[in-house]
Each structure stands twice: as C-alpha cells, then as structure tokens.
C-alpha cells in the first residue's frame, strides 16, 4: 500500500482520531439519544449483512492509520451488544501505527465482558452514566435499568486493568442537573475522571432546546464552590474535554462544552457508522459510503486516496455556526443531521 502524507482539511485540521460504530442497536432508550417514541418495537435497525465485518473494519483501520490516525474508539449504539467484540479489539491493537484503542459503553454488559476485553488488549474504557440516583437514571435510560449494575461494570473494568476509567455524564437542565455534585463527590473518591457533557443537538429526534443546556461554566462553578478546582493544560491538540483538577490533589474532572465553547477549530475526528458511512462531523448530514468500496473491486490505495480527498475537502464547523446563530437569536437551519445512535457520539 502507498503511504499517503497525512491530510489536513480546509481549516488546517489533521486527521488523528477515528471513531468506529460497530452497531446501531442499544439496550437503553436514553431520551437524549434514542427516544422510545422514535426507536420503538417497530424501528428497523440495520440487518447484520449491512454491518461492516470485523475484517472490513480492520482493513479500514489499517488504511486510516497510514493516513495519520493513531487513536481509535469503538462506539455504537451500544458496542458491547456486538458479538465477540473482544476479537475486533485484538485485531485493532495489532494495527501498525495505532497506539490507543478504547471503547465507550453504557456499562450494562461491562461486568461480564471486562476481562475478555482486557485480555484482547483494550487498555482504557469510558462509561456513560448520567446519575447515581436510580429514579433519575431509570427515567433517562427509559428501560428501568438500575445504577448498581453500571457501577458493578465500572468495578469489573477497574479490576481488569481497564484504566484510567472515564465517566461521561450528559447534563440536561431540569432532568439530571441535580446529580452533578453527587456524581463529582462519588467519582472523586474513587479516582475516576468524571466528564460533564453539555446536552447537544445531535440528530433531530431528541427534542433539543438551548434552554435545556447547562453551560460548562455553570457546572464548574457549582463544583468549585464545594471542591475548589484549578485548570489543567490539554495533553494534545484536539482534546475535546477541558481539564480541571481538585486543588487538594484528589483527582480531576473534565467538561465537554460543545455548545457554549465550541472547539471545531481543533477537531481531528473522523467517524464511521456501523454500515460503513464516513462522517467528518458529529453533526454531519451526509456520509460517504466506504462499504461499497470495501466490497467492490477497489484496492487499499484507491480507498485511501478517497478518504484523503474527503478529509482535504472538509470544512465542518457546525458547533461554531450553531452557537453564533443562538447568540444572535437566529434559528438553526440545515439538512437533517445523522442521529447519535448511528454515529456514536
């Protein structure tokens, strides 16, 4: 395969991170991602034949790695619903140039799979958990799933060596904003990094309103009033979370402020859906079909050049445009955006 110089897009952003959705299915119906009134019993998920195989995913991983990607994250839907996922992990950690393979999960199946994932070579994991209060959490996941099982999964991941563990909490005003401090207290004591995510308008099915967003500055002020914080410099260009540590040295938190402080200018992430569509933005409206190339007569060089040309033409900066429109009290227009369940966050 020909080595293609790492591409940069029209805003001089390199491609460094690849997020790979392995399924569009999920065992939760979180109201901000897969609301039940849309994703009900009759919803048509992707048939298995349309999903990329592990071999196809690995082939793409090799191509992306040769273009400069060195971090890969498995997402969904809920990735642990994909059978034998540990086999894919083992394949990806062997890809030359990839030095970080990680996974984001809701934690429901983590306790039974953590050991297998660690043995396959996974080194880090992120768990989505939006409250420690069972009533709030069950209302959010909308399937009556208890917090305790997710906490068991986090403990199993820690025991398996999948650390440092990150916990992602999407904060929505009037829904789970009262859980911010209890979450901060709990995970501070356990040494895990808690990251607060501003509620985002991914897709068109979650009923997003700007009034529902709790800005990162408000979240940090709430924590700082009880547990004083100080800033931590980013580890690398494109790090999505702004980092803060407790002044007493007891750990850190992060905030992902896509709405109030958009970071489009440093975004280095490409995303592949479970059926092989390449998106260059979390809020994208149109994907590029890589599956057809994989299953056709195209060789790796041809696919690599296609990916290169897509990235070089990239001009996405949706979060900046959305925030600018909101500041001027203008409506946010545009074509339908890809749903979170397809693109994996």
Inside any domain, residue 12: no
Predicted local confidence at residue 39, as pLDDT: 92
Cα dist from 186 to 84, 108, 152, 180, 227, whole Å: 32, 19, 14, 10, 12
State how far the Cα of 270 lies from the Cα of 307, in Å rounded to an integer. 10
Q: What is the pLDDT of residues 25-40, one digit of tens each?
A: 999 999 888 989 889 9
Inside any domain, residue 8: no
Inside any domain, residue 248: yes
* The total number of residues written for the chain in this structure: 345
Question: Does residue 16 carry a pLDDT above 90?
Answer: yes
When mean pLDDT is compared across 111-115, 193-197, 199-203, 205-209, the lowest value belongs to 205-209
Give helix 85-93 / helix 110-120 axis angle, nearest 10°: 30
Q: What is the pLDDT of residues 218-246, one digit of tens each?
A: 999 999 999 999 999 887 776 788 999 99
- Domain count of the chain? 1
Q: Which CATH number do you get for residue 137?
A: 3.20.20.70
Predicted local confidence at residue 318, as pLDDT: 81
Predicted local confidence at residue 13, as pLDDT: 94
**Beta-sheet pairing, 71-75 with 242-246:** unpaired
Inside any domain, residue 118: yes
Inside any domain, residue 1: no
Question: Does residue 197 carry a pLDDT above 80?
Answer: yes
Output the furthest CA–CA distance in the chain (Å, rounded).
61
Q: What is the pLDDT of residues 143-154, one digit of tens each?
A: 999 999 999 999
Inside any domain, residue 313: yes
How sure is the predictor about 119, in pLDDT bands with cuts at 50, 70 and 90?
A: very high
How sure is the predictor about 332, in pLDDT bands with cuts at 50, 70 and 90?
A: low
Inside any domain, residue 7: no
State how far the Cα of 338 lies from the Cα of 203, in Å rounded to an integer. 5
**pTM reported for the whole predicted model:** 0.93
Residue span of the structural domain in which 103 resides:
17-343
Q: What is the pLDDT of residues 264-285, one digit of tens each?
A: 888 999 999 999 999 998 888 8
């Amino acid at each position: 395969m020909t080595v293609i110089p790492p591409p940069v897009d029209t805003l001089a952003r390199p491609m460094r991170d690849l997020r790979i959705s392995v399924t569009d299915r999920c065992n939760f119906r979180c109201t901000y991602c897969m609301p039940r009134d849309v994703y009900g019993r009759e919803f048509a998920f992707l048939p298995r034949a349309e999903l990329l195989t592990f071999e196809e995913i690995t082939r793409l991983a090799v191509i992306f790695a040769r273009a400069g990607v060195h971090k890969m994250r498995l997402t969904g839907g809920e990735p642990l619903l994909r059978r034998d996922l540990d086999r894919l992990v083992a394949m990806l950690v062997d890809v030359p140039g990839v030095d970080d393979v990680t996974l984001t999960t809701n934690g429901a199946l983590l306790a039974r799979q953590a050991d297998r994932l660690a043995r396959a070579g996974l080194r880090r994991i992120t768990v989505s958990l939006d409250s420690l209060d069972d009533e709030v959490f069950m209302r959010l996941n909308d399937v009556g799933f208890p917090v305790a099982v997710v906490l068991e999964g986090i403990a199993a991941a820690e025991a398996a060596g999948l650390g440092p563990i990150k916990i992602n909490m999407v904060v929505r005003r009037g829904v789970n904003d009262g859980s911010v401090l209890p979450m901060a207290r709990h995970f501070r004591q356990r040494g895990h990094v808690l990251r607060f995510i501003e509620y985002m308008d991914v897709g068109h099915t979650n009923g997003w309103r700007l009034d529902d967003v709790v800005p990162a500055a408000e979240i940090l002020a709430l924590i700082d009033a009880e547990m004083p914080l100080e800033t931590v410099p980013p580890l690398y260009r494109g790090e999505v979370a702004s980092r803060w540590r407790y002044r007493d040295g007891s750990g850190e938190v992060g905030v992902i402020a896509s709405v109030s402080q958009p970071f489009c200018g440093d975004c280095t992430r490409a995303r592949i859906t479970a059926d092989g569509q390449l998106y260059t933005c979390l809020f994208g409206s149109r994907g590029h079909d890589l599956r057809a190339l994989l299953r056709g007569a195209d060789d790796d060089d041809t696919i690599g050049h296609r990916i290169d040309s897509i990235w070089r033409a990239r001009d996405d900066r949706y979060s900046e445009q959305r925030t600018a429109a909101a500041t001027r009290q203008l409506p946010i227009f545009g074509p339908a955006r890809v749903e979170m369940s397809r693109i994996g966050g």
